[in-house]
Homo-oligomer: A and B are copies of this chain.
């Protein structure tokens, strides 16, 4: 049997963007959920391999207090090992001004804050109300944007969790999500990432939120999508977002990760499954799927369990 199934056949569809930027979150969003400690050297090698596979945005780590995310307590040691990788953006999470200081001192040029669309998750994740969290981020974003000029100006991403459903509150009203999105942009965020933290969204809901954002003056080119595969919906939702014009899609190599504070939040969209669809649609990503799959298989070996990505399993012949 020849290995002719290793790459999808490219058959473009109408109305889709010619190119998509994948925002790879595996080293941060994936590894922050690992129970065992992953050695700093392994993390650095993971990031180098992801960059070598053609990913141009690789979220590297988080400058939250180690008490909250001990898995990423080595941010200070890790970041200098990868910050000089050519041609790769390495955003890092910063929860507050202290985190921003640490990140900037190490030379980070892309940072991300993380807000919640719901009060319940803001309380659980940040121990603040939604508006208190926004107030905390205001000086972070302002100071980040005041750092550097021109192409060297620090870029700020605003994550928004629970954009579709919330485990305590149920379905999240679209106007509530739009309000926080607007607030994050008004603070100065360059782009948003709409998170379906518990994976409940479906394609019509995705289109409805994107349309509502447009109606309130948020252009699609400032919006990324971040889907979880908890109910198997992530790739269908991504297709709906692409059909709306979204060109930034978050994914996690090998499908690593989830959210440690939301029990039912399992399974980031696997970057390989995303790349399979995008390349099948003739959409450029710059990613070498074979190298990416090999990287995730390598990481799965380091973690001692098979990748949850179906594409990684199929291409590397791992049994589920």
Given the contacts A233-B235, A309-B232, A320-B266, A240 and B13 also touching, CB distance less than 8 Å: yes
Q: Which of A240-284 contact B (CB under 8 A)?
A: 240, 263-264, 266-267, 270, 273, 276-277, 279-282
Residue A238, interface by CB 8 Å: yes
Residue A208, interface by CB 8 Å: yes
Residue A291, interface by CB 8 Å: no
Chain B residues near A231 (CB-CB < 8 A): 8, 273, 276, 310-311, 314
* Additional pairs, 17, CB under 8 Å, beyond known A9-B165, A264-B314: A1-B168, A2-B167, A5-B170, A5-B198, A5-B200, A10-B204, A12-B204, A13-B204, A204-B282, A229-B310, A231-B314, A232-B276, A232-B310, A233-B235, A239-B240, A266-B314, A267-B310
Bound together, the chains give a CA A151 to CA B65 distance in angstroms of: 69
Bound together, the chains give a CA A198 to CA B83 distance in angstroms of: 40
**A121-145, CB under 8 A of B: which get 1 and which 0?**
0000000000000000000000000
Contact B277 A236 (CB under 8 A): yes
Given the contacts A2-B168, A165-B5, A238-B236, A277 and B314 also touching, CB distance less than 8 Å: no
One of B2, B8, B171, B236 near A9 (C-beta < 8 A): B171
Residue A230, interface by CB 8 Å: yes
Residue A308, interface by CB 8 Å: yes
Interface, chain A (partner B; CB < 8 A): 1-2, 4-5, 8-13, 16, 164-171, 198-205, 207-208, 229-233, 235-236, 238-240, 263-264, 266-267, 270, 273, 276-277, 279-282, 308-311, 313-314, 320
Q: Which residue of B lies closest to A3 (CB)?
A: B167
Say how far A265's CB is from chain B's closest CB, in angstroms: 10
Chain B residues near A203 (CB-CB < 8 A): 13, 239, 277, 280-281
Contact A233 B280 (CB under 8 A): yes
Chain B residues near A236 (CB-CB < 8 A): 235-236, 238-239, 277
Chain B residues near A281 (CB-CB < 8 A): 202-204
Given the contacts A204-B11, A238-B236, A239-B239, A4 and B167 also touching, CB distance less than 8 Å: yes
Given the contacts A204-B280, A263-B1, A310 and B171 also touching, CB distance less than 8 Å: no
Chain B residues near A279 (CB-CB < 8 A): 202
Say how far A315's CB is from chain B's closest CB, in angstroms: 8
Chain B residues near A313 (CB-CB < 8 A): 266
Bound together, the chains give a CA A202 to CA B289 distance in angstroms of: 15
Say how far A65's CB is from chain B's closest CB, in angstroms: 25
Say how far A20's CB is from chain B's closest CB, in angstroms: 13
